Amino acid sequence: MSMSKAAPVRAFTGARIFDGNSWNDGKALLVADGRVLAMPAPAELPGDVEIIDVSGQMIVPGFIDLQVNGGGGVLLNEDPSAEGIARICAAHAKFGTTGLLPTLITDTPKVTAAAIDAGRLASQTKVAGFLGLHLEGPHLSLARKGAHDPALIRPMLDEDLQRILSCQGVFDVMMTTIAPESVTPAQVRTLSAAGILVSIGHTDSSYETALTYAAAGARAVTHLFNAMSPLGHREPGLVGAALSLGGLHAGLIADGIHVHPAAMGVALRAKQGPGRIFLVTDAMSPIGTDLTGFTLNGRQILRRDGRLTLADGTLAGADIDMISSVRFVHQVLDIALDEALRMASTYPAEAAGLSNRKGAIKVGFDADFVVLTPDLQMASTWIGGVEVYRAD
């Protein structure tokens, strides 16, 4: 992990620059004070800038991951601390993620409170890449629990609601995944009015119920297709609502294991805007390590052949990083590279309400970007204009 000292003004030259909308050739990227200053022609650069030559490479917007359970050997549930959060962010920076939401899987009120305290400290100490928290549960459906501990799943009480509301304004993003089986529309209205990003997931919700919760203020759907009733021709369910409602954004795990590539392609072609399908890793602690397993809520999770599973074979998060997800979408699904990159940056920024300063390379935006080789391998990662990772 290398941390360069912030220079007054830096110019990145020689790369193709994808600004989130289009490709720019023959331009330099000028960065100062953590922000994008300009994108001039190299001949127009002032004489006193630090030149960083990235010839033959690509500069693309930094990836944003709204569902990250762990990385670097740390699982937020097992280490709800600011240090744990910093290790998770550092692990994912190696794979191009410049902003993420450490995600707490269903746990006790005590662990939830500890994770929120850790998030507050991570925010105060400005941990690079930390955007806020995602509480995935415990207010889910038992029937669609996935790897969540059924003993800890329960309806949302007022104290639970207040605990989430206490995060209002503390983080850039506060997100929670809820199921209509355990949370009322009135509770969703309260959360949404407070600026909390409410996502529907782990549910057998009908299409009509999903519409009711979207009208109450839910803006997203958690890992589309997974832990929800499938799309039926007479009961479209949450999948149908996610694809047909323009107001809903939807996360997607693009590892080829959680969702069949054909189903991904159908969803991407069917999705109504302005809400879009964006990539999430749903990554667990082994990312960036050679760990062969780990513990979640006292249960052993096995890692093999790209899968993370409970002993009974239930998928427990994903063993994929963001640049690998981009490569999968581009190479396997044959999605244009610019669109694959938007799915990892622009669209999650829009879902999280950050599109006024993240998810693109624009003047005034945060200088969060990734330098990639022509074959989509990592070269370096920059957060706020500071290099946080460089490939050996």
Please give the positions annotated as active site: 282
DSSP 8-state assignment for residue 152: G
- Can you give the three-state secondary structure of 75-132, one letter per residue? ECCCCCCHHHHHHHHHHHHCCCEEEEEEEEECCCHHHHHHHHHHHHHHHHCCCCCECE
Answer for the pair 249, 351: CB distance below 8 angstroms, yes or no. Answer: yes
- Number of Cβ atoms within 10 Å of the Cβ of 201: 29
Dist CA 204 CA 143 (whole Å): 7
Interior CA angle at 25 toward 23 and 31, to 5°?
Answer: 85
Please give the distance of CA 116 from its chain centroid, rounded to a whole number. Answer: 18
Reported as half-sphere exposure (CB side, CA atoms, 13 A), residue 316 has a value of 28
Alpha-carbon separation of residue 191 from 114, 160, 165, 166 (angstroms) = 20, 11, 7, 11
Residue 314 is given by DSSP the state -
Residue type for 196, please?
I
Residues 96, 253: Cα–Cα separation, whole Å: 16
Cβ–Cβ < 8 Å for 320, 259: no
Q: Which residue has the tokens 């690998």?
A: 324
Length of the chain: 392
Structure tokens at 355: 């599109």
Locate 285 and state its tokens: 């602690």
